[in-house]
């Protein structure tokens, strides 16, 4: 385990596989962390042959706490202010951003908002570009589970600051001002290959998110919809998801190895 220090915050981080060349940078979900990826990073490194970096954003895992309340544009701030510093601190010069849920949205915002030639591809698992009623209802149920059930105790096993991790995510999404939130306009500016993965039984989002991405993106979008998978297809349908990611990264690596097309 190592620590990155973008913007003065200590963020826990861990690497797998080669430390140079094209790297997969993993951005976790709204209640995730390095540890909650489970064995996915190690399996990714083994299957793809690429280096993998996972880190916990401020307020999550073993990282420093974040300030609450989070602003309603917290994902945009993470994408445009923090993520560039993370890549700097980690010494990464060529990256595939692989995000899950909030992390996928942060990855897409970064690629569509920041001129960062280090980022060569996107793997977006259960991204959200706008709110959906069924997703907001599920987030409201999570609040009840946190306040009256065992969710807080389960999160405390993975986060040094479970209240900050949960409230920072849940309070923002359930704020009345968040109901009309949308970052779909960033899709119009994506210019790198994209792999989008969405479980067909995801309680937080529907295929409408992926359809928006595929319809608006000027960049090529590969879509994988693991049947019966919930919000985390990399856990629910691990082999299918890993195979899709491995194929995507190998094709991208071949493009990288070929270099620029001569004028």
For residue 126, which phi and psi values (nearest 5 degrees)?
Answer: 50, 50
Q: What is the average pLDDT value for the chain, to the nearest integer?
A: 96
**% of the chain beyond a pLDDT of 90:** 93
* pLDDT at residue 260 in the model: 63
- 247 pLDDT higher than 90: yes
H/E run at residue 13: strand 11-16
Mean pLDDT within 123-144? 98
Tell me the C-alpha distance between 139 and 144, whole Å: 9
- 191 pLDDT higher than 70: yes
Question: Peptide bond before 148: cis, by omega within 30 degrees of 0?
Answer: no
Q: pLDDT digit string (tens) for 38-53? A: 999 999 999 999 999 9
Report the 10 Å Cβ neighbour count for 215. Answer: 10
Tell me the C-alpha distance between 235 and 37, whole Å: 9
Characterize the bridge pairing of strands 194-197 and 23-27: unpaired
- 263 pLDDT higher than 50: no
Mean pLDDT within 202-211? 98
- 21 pLDDT higher than 70: yes
- 262 pLDDT higher than 80: no
Domains and CATH numbers, the chain: 2-256 (3.40.50.1820)
Tell me the C-alpha distance between 159 and 152, whole Å: 10
SS3 142: helix
Band of the pLDDT at 37, cuts 50, 70, 90?
very high
* pLDDT at residue 46 in the model: 97
SS3 136: helix
Mean pLDDT within 96-108? 98
- 28 pLDDT higher than 50: yes
Spatial contact of 63 and 164, defined as CB atoms under 8 Å apart: no
Spatial contact of 188 and 111, defined as CB atoms under 8 Å apart: no
């Amino acid at each position: 385990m190592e620590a990155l220090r973008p913007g003065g915050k200590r963020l826990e981080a861990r690497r797998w596989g080669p430390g140079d060349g094209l790297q997969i940078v993993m951005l976790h979900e709204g209640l995730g962390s390095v540890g909650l990826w489970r064995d996915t990073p190690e399996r990714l490194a083994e299957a793809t042959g690429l280096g993998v970096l996972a880190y916990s954003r401020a307020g999550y895992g073993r990282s420093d706490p974040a300030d609450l309340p989070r602003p309603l544009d917290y994902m945009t701030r993470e994408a445009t202010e923090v993520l560039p510093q993370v890549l700097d601190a980690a010494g990464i010069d060529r990256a595939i951003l692989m995000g899950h849920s909030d992390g996928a949205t942060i990855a897409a915002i970064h690629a569509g908002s920041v001129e960062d030639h280090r980022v060569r591809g996107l793997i977006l698992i259960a991204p959200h570009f706008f709110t959906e009623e069924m997703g907001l209802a599920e987030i409201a149920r999570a609040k009840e589970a946190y306040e009256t059930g065992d969710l807080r105790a389960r999160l405390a096993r993975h986060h040094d600051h479970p209240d900050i991790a949960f409230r920072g995510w849940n309070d923002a999404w359930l704020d009345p001002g968040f109901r009309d939130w949308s970052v779909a306009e960033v899709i119009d500016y994506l210019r790198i290959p994209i792999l989008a993965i969405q479980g067909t039984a995801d309680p937080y989002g529907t295929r409408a998110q992926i359809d928006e991405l595929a319809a608006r993106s000027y960049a090529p979008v590969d879509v994988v919809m693991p049947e019966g998978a919930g919000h985390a297809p990399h856990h629910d349908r691990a082999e299918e998801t890993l195979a899709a990611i491995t194929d995507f990264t190998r094709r991208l690596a071949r493009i990288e190895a070929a270099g620029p097309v001569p004028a």
